[in-house]
Structure 1
Amino acid sequence: VDPLNPDHSLMNQESQFTDSAGRPHAIISYVPGRFGQCTTNYVADRTANGRAFHVRKNASGSWQKTEIPVPLGSSQRTKLILDKYDNAYAIFPFGRIAAASAASGYTDWRILFDGSGLNAFGEVVIDETRVAQDGVLSFMYQEKSSGTTPSALRVVDFRLPA
């Protein structure tokens, strides 16, 4: 159930993480109503106008939703991690990374890494163990390929605040 609208199912939840106080955080995405009330082509409309939203339960127990001001540019899912200071990192398809600080109440989302040099295809896979144990955001991605030519799997690491 969507905590912000109990009459709707939260079927588009893409990734979740728990902060240091045990409160849930999640990423959902959709095409906001300002881009039109009806999408006619799922992939094209999400790629052109989709946005990810950070949904979290705050200290008072209320749910809050903040739009991440970054176009999805994809129909695929965004991943979420939190560092040991509860700063949030959204890892978009193609390896783009946006972040927001816990101190701002997650209102200062900005791109930290644009991913353009990775030549990545689609979604990434996060190594959540390394986030917790090593303070490293590590993700695996596949390079774009052409035709039936196989492409390489790669891993990239980013040091999180110590």
Structure 2
Amino acid sequence: MFERLQKDIDEHSRQLSRYITIIFAMSTMVTTYSSYLLFMTKQRFIYQCLYCMIAHAQINTLSVMIIGCAKVRNNNEKLLRLKQKCLMLSICEKKIFTTHQLLKFDALTTTLLDRPLGFQLTNGVIITSYTFITVIVNISTFFFLISQNIIATKQLTTINNT
């Protein structure tokens, strides 16, 4: 059953990776753009409310997607650790498997523990709970670069006026 579960996770991940990547990228871009419109431009109050609701909805969508995908990966990791523990107990108690089979199962489980299966983006990055921090860092970097560009533009305008 465990191997069937691993195969299903991998198959669904491959099928959904393009869609998850598109949703992930679009949510990040819309959140970034609506945040830019909220904080960097002057808007009427009604538009600020609209952009705030859009940003809130996109952040919620992104959060739910990341949390759901991270749960799949974390549960898969827990199952792999449990399987490894069961293999160790079977070595100690009974000789259910041959030594060759045990080494093979242990090597496979250890390899899967290094990179547990989960939903991934098209570039091969597995979505974990750390992914949300990465998104926030990317959005913050975008705002830092824009603010540096705005400061440089103001300085050039000041120099040209004098």
Same fold (TM over 0.5): no
Larger radius of gyration: 2
With normalisation by structure 1, the TM-score equals: 0.22
Greater relative CO (CA pairs within 8 A, separation 6+): 2
